[in-house]
Copies of this chain bind each other. A is one copy, B any other.
Amino acid sequence: MNVTVGGRTRHYRTVTFKAATNSVQLIEQRLLPHEFKIASTRDYRATALAITDMVVRGAGAIGATAAYGLAQGARAFRGGGLAKFRAHVGKVFQTLKEARPTAVDPVNAMLQVRREMRAGKTVAEQQALALAAAEEFANGDAAHCEAIGRHGVKLIRDGMRVLTHCNAGWLAFVDIGSATAPMYAAQAQGNKFHVFCDETRPRAQGASLTAWELAQQGVSHQVIADNAAGHLMQRGEIDLVIVGSDRTLGRTGEVANKIGTYTKAVLAARHKIPFYVAIPLSTIDWGMRRGRDIPIEERSEGEVLGAWGVVESSKAKGKGQKLGERAYVRIANPTSGARNPGFDLTPPELITGIITPAGIFKPRELWRNRRVLQSAAH
């Protein structure tokens, strides 16, 4: 999507590859929303580290980063025959896989690259095919998001007020995003609408990343505390909810997503507000039988007990606090602990529809349509 830096507006993808320098180019997401910077990784180890350190995050975005990282590693190979090359690629694969051990997207993306590069008969051919396959993966991710937008755009009518939670935006993918895709498509059509971004504590991805994205695209929006959506719904000020999902169960239509999603679904159901989940097909889990079996990650207490931001003012006595610097502040009582579940599970009866690149489905219709959806996923 577009980013305006120093008065100049340019299109950026979250992840791209520069063949001339064999480097992966990443939007440095840890600095957002306060600073826009492109990080460049010169070898696959640096790319793996960028995934580990969350320079890049989001299912589609880390998938594409790993795909590019594998191509980058393959292209850096010098001398030796195919056997040595294959061993080298295996090592690169392993390093990138271990960068975020619980994520499935990097592995799936790299498997796809490795499958396609094996058609090459020489090292050079395989190197070229690896890059082509990584580009194909990244383009595919963007195309899937675009298709989500095509299907979802009809939900956003003129004058609507749309709530979203966390960041299921283009920063989480290669471009366009999932929950944001219908919004960007509606904007491209000239529809007037307004977005409420849930702050999404504890990590505040809504206030920081989604708000930044929407601001860059010129979409009308406001940040709200996670506590405020219920009140706004009660007052008739929200017409539609669109969120993303980390994992959707194909068999049951249950949706695992950022903590707080379930709460918004419960509120939306009470107020008869349509609640949609926008997902690429790769996040549908066709095997798992019950949502309760999804392990809910318990994250660090520090996320709940404080927050990261940029210092804007301080109560320092004497020496002034340095303003404009990123800092973590402790908000909570210093002797208290916290619980911090990272995700929650929304049951299908609270979900109006699942917006996929292959169309919009009722959550309980996914399984019946699995043949279509599974073949469209590739």
Contact = CB atoms under 8 A, between A and B. Distances in A.
Given A224-B338, A345-B234, A207 B331 contact: yes
Nearest to A327: B314
B321 A315 contact: no
A307 B329 contact: yes
Contacts of A306: 309, 312
A201 interface: yes
Q: Size range of the interface on A?
A: 35 or more
Interface string A204-248: 100110011011000001111111111110100000000000000
A338 B262 contact: no
Contacts of A334: 33-34, 310
A222 B296 contact: no
Contact of A234 (B223, B234, B262, B321): B262
Interface stretch (A71-79, A263-271, A356-364): A263-271
A326 B304 contact: no
Contacts of A263: 227, 229-230, 263, 267
Contact of A328 (B223, B225, B311): B311
Contacts of A32: 333
Interface string A314-338: 1110010110011111111111111
Interface string A262-299: 11001100100000000000000000000000001000
A255 to B, nearest CB: 13
A223 B337 contact: yes
Contact of A208 (B270, B332, B340): B332
Interface string A328-354: 111111111111110111000000000
Given A321-B311, A329-B327, A304 B336 contact: no
A212 B340 contact: no
A162 interface: no
Given A227-B263, A341-B231, A344-B230, A313 B327 contact: yes
Given A313-B327, A325-B316, A345-B234, A225 B333 contact: no
Q: Which 8 A-B pairs have the closest CB atoms?
A: A309-B329, A227-B260, A33-B333, A230-B263, A207-B332, A231-B344, A314-B327, A211-B333
Given A207-B331, A232-B339, 12 more contacts: A201-B225, A201-B227, A211-B332, A211-B333, A215-B335, A215-B336, A223-B333, A227-B344, A306-B312, A310-B330, A314-B328, A319-B322
19 contacts: A32-B333, A33-B332, A201-B225, A208-B332, A211-B336, A222-B339, A223-B337, A224-B340, A225-B304, A226-B226, A226-B227, A227-B263, A228-B260, A230-B260, A232-B339, A312-B328, A312-B329, A314-B326, A316-B327
